[in-house]
Amino acid sequence: MKPLTEMQHWNSQYDPRAARVAADAPSRLKSAIRRFLGPTVLEYMRDYGDYLLWNVIYPQFLSTKRGAKVLEVGSAPGHHLIRLRDVFGVEPYGVEYAPKGAELNRKLFELHGISSNQVIQGDFFSPAFQSKYANHFDVVVSHGFIEHFTDVEGVISRHLNVLAPCGCLVISIPNLQGANYFLVRLFRQELIPQHNLSIMRREAFCRLFNKQEVTPLLCDYYGTFSFGLFNSPPKSRRRHLLTVCGKVQRLLNATFRGLFGARGAESRYFSPYLIFVGTKAR
């Protein structure tokens, strides 16, 4: 598989020494904000895409998966798997190529009472991994992974290879088309070549699964709009602008939640993500 992003980039994203901070900071921050604003206001200011994913989409497909073995491909830092365990009672496993990412994932797992052995540091595409874990996991998920490759259908087929028959496949990618394309150019245009933009239209994204041994259950945009899709270099002046946008986003989240509820208002121009959910053939 030819990646569009090198390991050096991914290693630079993770600092295993920050595991304790990463584990504690979200709960402390939420506690402080909840005391100030109250739980109802805080809930409505929550990222709207996050609400749709965890309160609308995931419950449709994962509520009956208690005890299931769930593999996340490209799992660092590990928060997503931990949350899946906490919300749906699944058994989380991660595979991570970048050594620093795998180390951070292991430390976060340990801090949350999950065995560090459930993080596999290695090449997901290697024949050894694909052979050892063929038809092994009940659920396979990846978020922001397949768009970093040119042979995307080949990447999807590797996901399905390690998924058990009748297992659930969940793949989501960012939508860097439409208005989001101009915003990513504004905040961090150097990231654009690291992404396969050609698959970031619903029709093109859904076509990726047509030749796979999987029955589609959902294939669509989700989230109405989010500045959380973007980032900027640490010392860039654009970072200050993005901080202001993040504060505006909280008001947008509350507005979207009030106007659209669980329905969303997805579009090719503004929605931050696309998601596919399907069931592998027997």
The residues near 113 (Cβ < 8 Å, ≥ 6 apart) are none
Determine the pLDDT at residue 28.
60
pLDDT of the residue at 114: 98
What's the CA gap between 162 and 164, in Å, rounded? 7
Does 1 map to a domain?
A: no
Instruction: Report how many domains make up the chain.
Output: 1
2: in domain? no
pLDDT at residue 42 in the model: 84
Regions of the chain with pLDDT less than 70: 1-2, 6-38
**110 assigned to some structural domain:** yes
Alpha carbon separation from 79 to 40, 66, 74 (Å, rounded): 23, 18, 12
Q: What is the pTM of this model?
A: 0.90
CA distances from 176 to 2, 81, 111, 229 (A): 20, 25, 34, 9
- Asked if residue 184 is part of any domain, the answer here is yes
Beta strands 273-280 and 214-222, pairing class: antiparallel
What pLDDT score does 33 carry?
56
How confident is the model over 241-253, as pLDDT tens digits? 999 999 999 999 9
pLDDT value of position 24: 55
What is the pLDDT, as a whole number, of residue 39?
72
Cis bond before residue 77 (omega within 30° of 0) = yes
Q: Using CA atoms in the order 230, 234, 238, 242, what is the torsion angle rounded to 10 degrees?
A: 50
- Say if residues 214 and 221 touch (Cβ distance below 8 Å): no
In terms of residue numbers, what domain contains 64? 7-280
Asked if 174 and 120 touch (Cβ cutoff 8 Å), the reply is no
pLDDT at 37: 62
Domain CATH for 108: 3.40.50.150
**Beta carbons within 10 angstroms of residue 247's beta carbon:** 9
Tell me what pLDDT residue 11 has.
60
